[in-house]
Chains A and B, each alone.
Chain A
Amino acid sequence: MNEQEIIEKIAFNVIQGRVTEEDEGYDEGLEGQPAVAELVQMVIEQRIDAKKVVVNALTGSMETVGDKFDKGEYLIPDMLASAECVGAAMDLLGPHLADAGVQSKGKFVLATVAGDLHDIGKNIVGIMLKGAGFDVLDLGNDVSSERIVAQVKDTGARYLGLSALLTTTMREMGAIIKTLDEEGMRSQVQVLIGGAPTSQSFADEIGADAYCRDAFHAIDILKQMAG
């Protein structure tokens, strides 16, 4: 398979949402054929320019997937499958991206706050952010304020995403923002919040930079922040 064929097949498989060869795609009968992971491995072995893969295979195909979602052709599982493909490709390409001059869209620390074990929404956001080209550090759930603030500090993250599903735990978000303020880090990081009990007015109340209804809204907001 030559370079052009590999890049086209990666793009095709991102749209199909196939990470590995045993995965089913959106269309029937693709199981057993090389998917994104196997094709990206070929990219590495054949020393194909990682930037070409990102620009020609990953970015464009995610836009196609977004269009299909907007038209109602794709549902959320299809979007997530494609985003996972991009995330898997970026993980494999990771060491080669800097050499190829590909820059991450930014470090994004993500966590469900202390006392809260709910992480489905947060995980969906993580997959979508990775698929959109962010360097995501997912701290998991029930994460203490101290750990979150420390990770933002250590990584120099430009973005912090906080999630909560309970009215009893959402208050932690305000405490974290206050700590960031006290530690003089508030201006370095944009804080995005989300989760069922949160709202724009709650975000305003605690001084968050943005409230995100869902993962897609988060991507839109990040596009606006990037300007």
Chain B
Amino acid sequence: MSDAFRQGTIVNPYERLNSDQIQHLHRASLAILAEPGIWCYSQRAADLFASAGAKVSETTEHGQPVWRVSLPAGLVEEAVAKTPSSFILGARDPANRLMLDAQTPRIYFGSGSETNVWLETEMHTFASTQAPEKTLRIPQYRELRGSADLLCRAANLCEHLTHLDFFIRPVNIQDPGVDETNHDVNKFFASLNNITKHVQAGLTRLESLPDVVRMAEIIAGGKEALRRNPLLSFIACVFKSPLQLVADTADKVFAIVEAGLPLVISSSPQGGSSAPIQEAGMVAQINAEILAGITMVQLIREGAPVLYGSVPVRARMDDLHDLYGCPEFNQYNIDCAQLARHYQVPCYSTAGVGDAKVPGAQAMFEKLFTHLYMAMTGAQYIHYAFGLLDRTNTFCPVQAVIDNELIGKVKHCLRAPKIDEDEAKAAVAMVNKVMGTSHRLYARHARKAIHAGDVSEPFAFGAKDQQDRVVELALAELESIDRQPRKHLPQPVVDEIFDRVPGILPSLRQWT
């Protein structure tokens, strides 16, 4: 295994909170975990916490047992301190591995959300009713039900999006022949057979984990090879906000950690309904939930690689739906990224979600507003960033192509300044040279920077006439990507997977 990994972009983090404010939030989270503590619906997790010194009492709620767990501050702080601050997320292509290091604000962007709707785009020509000779090309959209084939197409698209660093499936598979029992093997196979970047997903069914791990081991080249190059990882939303530890997900966390694979402990409270809308309250609560989850992971296996997964959102006050592209979203998420850095745990964060139902000006605002801010925080692993529309309900591949362009610009903007003594001397020499000419133009001295890749390209989907052609041009780019050959797994690997992993749709083999 080489030491290669995707370089990402190392940023100079924007910090919203000062050190006193971080301490206030930290202490508030510990206070919440001590009193009222967490409502734990998993006996196994409750026993684990109890064995580590937590105060646990069993009670009944709606006729079901629930364990009230009060976590002492020392237990949480000790567990968090044992969490690795850096680790690798693997990939089929070693050059696509990710280096997550809590001490280095190296940002990566990826997809996400597992939507049910795929939004297909077509350009239609419309004539003016006042002047029929005047025509406009306008995008029209068609909703498709998520399927395994569309997931393959999404993975191939994401393989070719230069600024996408990792893949969380953006579309659900709802094919006939797919049910809960074979959902996991199909979603992981469709993904891994079409992308060479890191693949991450939630686990639908605990019992599927051995099959998924076997598939990954076949691809990686064995058990040890998979642990050295964990080309897949898992998302575990173990807390249902507020503060309720879910039994089903807790069982999955045990299994994933025991399997020696990385995972995200993700929490997504909604400010105004399942968490306070006020910044301090929201961040203190989500931080408490994540810290409790990380504590559980470290109690299962000390040193297990885990990401601090923060997805705080706020409610719209008119319908209580999630509201992503708003100032509070950035505030909550920036604070969480700072807390993760404080705890020295790599941060899984969120950007690029909004209310917009189709690509356009609203989507552009909501996405760029969060892409830029979350990149500035230095959160290592930013998901949801490609193609999502209608909050997290729709995946639009054209929008993913546009997002790739936006994220490329954001990454370029946040590159470290190239300023040192040599650069400063070179600048003075250049000024002297140009001022010695009659035309006093710096244009030809831009060439070195252009060739070094330091000069960004203009917005890729800009038009030169008085029309907005962003969607039309992005669609042309998407069609070009769709024609690219797919980077499938080698045939013998596919054959072995089909031999040893039951339940994969035969149609997925046709892609090879």
**Is the pairing of A and B real?**
yes
A contact set with B: CB distance below 8 Å: 17, 24, 26, 28, 75-78, 80-81, 84, 120, 123-124, 126-127, 138
- Min CB–CB distance B446 → chain A (angstroms): 5
* CB atoms of A123 and B450 under 8 A apart: no
Interchain CB contact (< 8 A) of A84 among B444, B448, B450 = B444
* CB atoms of B439 and A24 under 8 A apart: no
Interchain CB contact (< 8 A) of B447 among A81, A124, A126 = A81
* CB atoms of A77 and B438 under 8 A apart: no
- Min CB–CB distance A44 → chain B (angstroms): 21
- Min CB–CB distance A89 → chain B (angstroms): 15
- What are the residues of chain A within 8 A of B450 when measuring CB–CB? 75, 77
Selected A-B contacts with CB under 8 Å, 17 pairs: A17-B444, A17-B447, A24-B447, A26-B447, A77-B446, A77-B447, A77-B450, A78-B447, A80-B441, A80-B443, A80-B444, A81-B443, A123-B439, A123-B440, A126-B438, A127-B439, A138-B438
CA distance A26 to B441 in the complex (A): 18
- Min CB–CB distance B431 → chain A (angstroms): 15
* CB atoms of A26 and B451 under 8 A apart: yes
CA distance A78 to B446 in the complex (A): 9
Chain A, residue nearest B440 (CB): A123
CA distance A126 to B438 in the complex (A): 10
Q: Which residues of chain B from 24 to 83 have any CB-CB distance to chain A below 8 Å in the complex?
A: none
* CB atoms of B447 and A127 under 8 A apart: no
What is the predominant secondary structure among interface residues of chain A facing chain B? helix
Contact with A along B429-444 (1 / 0, CB 8 A): 0000000001111011
* CB atoms of B439 and A77 under 8 A apart: no
CA distance A220 to B448 in the complex (A): 29
- Min CB–CB distance A126 → chain B (angstroms): 6
Chain A, residue nearest B441 (CB): A123
CA distance A5 to B450 in the complex (A): 30
Measured as residues with beta carbon below 8 angstroms from the partner, the interface class of chain B is 10 to 19
Chain A, residue nearest B437 (CB): A84
- What are the residues of chain B within 8 A of A17 when measuring CB–CB? 444, 447
CA distance A81 to B447 in the complex (A): 9
* CB atoms of B451 and A76 under 8 A apart: no
Interchain CB contact (< 8 A) of B444 among A81, A120, A126, A138 = A81
- Which of B441, B444, B446 has the most chain A CB within a 10 Å cutoff? B444
* CB atoms of B443 and A126 under 8 A apart: no
Given A77-B446, A80-B441, A80-B444: 8 more A-B contacts, CB < 8 Å: A17-B447, A24-B448, A75-B450, A77-B444, A77-B445, A81-B444, A127-B439, A127-B441
* CB atoms of A120 and B447 under 8 A apart: no
- What are the residues of chain B within 8 A of A81 when measuring CB–CB? 443-444, 447
- Min CB–CB distance A135 → chain B (angstroms): 14
CA distance A24 to B446 in the complex (A): 11
Chain B, residue nearest A84 (CB): B444
- Min CB–CB distance A153 → chain B (angstroms): 23
The 10 closest A-B pairs by CB, nearest first: A81-B444, A123-B439, A77-B443, A77-B446, A80-B443, A77-B447, A77-B444, A80-B444, A24-B448, A123-B441
- What are the residues of chain B within 8 A of A127 when measuring CB–CB? 439, 441
Q: Which residues of chain B from 85 to 99 have any CB-CB distance to chain A below 8 Å in the complex?
A: none
CA distance A126 to B441 in the complex (A): 11
- What are the residues of chain B within 8 A of A80 when measuring CB–CB? 441, 443-444
CA distance A31 to B162 in the complex (A): 33
- Which of A24, A76, A80 has the most chain B CB within a 10 Å cutoff? A80
- What are the residues of chain B within 8 A of A28 when measuring CB–CB? 451
- Min CB–CB distance A161 → chain B (angstroms): 14
- What are the residues of chain B within 8 A of A78 when measuring CB–CB? 444, 447
- Min CB–CB distance A14 → chain B (angstroms): 12
- What are the residues of chain A within 8 A of B440 when measuring CB–CB? 123
CA distance A77 to B451 in the complex (A): 11
CA distance A109 to B46 in the complex (A): 88
Chain A, residue nearest B444 (CB): A81
- Min CB–CB distance A226 → chain B (angstroms): 24
- What are the residues of chain B within 8 A of A76 when measuring CB–CB? 443
CA distance A28 to B453 in the complex (A): 13
- What are the residues of chain A within 8 A of B447 when measuring CB–CB? 17, 24, 26, 77-78, 81
- Min CB–CB distance A62 → chain B (angstroms): 15
- Min CB–CB distance B418 → chain A (angstroms): 16
Chain A, residue nearest B447 (CB): A77
CA distance A17 to B444 in the complex (A): 8
Chain A, residue nearest B429 (CB): A22
CA distance A17 to B448 in the complex (A): 12
- Min CB–CB distance B258 → chain A (angstroms): 52
CA distance A24 to B433 in the complex (A): 13
Interchain CB contact (< 8 A) of B443 among A24, A26, A124 = A124
- What are the residues of chain A within 8 A of B438 when measuring CB–CB? 123, 126, 138
